[in-house]
Amino acid sequence: MNKKHIAIFASGKGSNAQKLIQHFRNNSSAEISLIVCNNEKAEVLQIASAEKIPSFLISKNDSLQKLISELRNHQIDFIVLAGYLLLIPAELIKEFPNRIINIHPALLPKFGGKGMYGMKVHEAVKSSEEKKSGITIHFVNEEFDKGKIIFQAEVLLNENDSPQTIAQKVQQLEHEHFAREIEKIISTG
Catalytic positions, please?
Answer: 104
Largest CA distance in the chain: 50
CB of 93 or CB of 103, closer to ligand GRF: 103
**CA-based nearest residue to 6, from 82, 117, 85:** 82
Binding site for ligand GRF (CB under 6 A): 10, 12-17, 82-83, 103-105, 174
CB of 72 to ligand GRF, least distance (A): 25
CB of 136 to ligand GRF, least distance (A): 9
CB of 163 to ligand GRF, least distance (A): 12
State the burial class of residue 184 (Cβ atoms within 10 Å of its Cβ: 0-12, 13-18, 19+): middle
Closest residue to ligand GRF using C-beta atoms: 83
CB of 12 or CB of 147, closer to ligand GRF: 12
CB of 3 or CB of 51, closer to ligand GRF: 51
CB of 14 or CB of 147, closer to ligand GRF: 14
SS3 at position 72? helix
> At residue 144, what are phi and psi to the nearest 5 degrees?
-55, 125
**Per-state percent for the chain, helix, strand, coil, to nearest 5:** 35, 25, 40
CA atoms of 8 and 31, how far apart (whole Å): 11
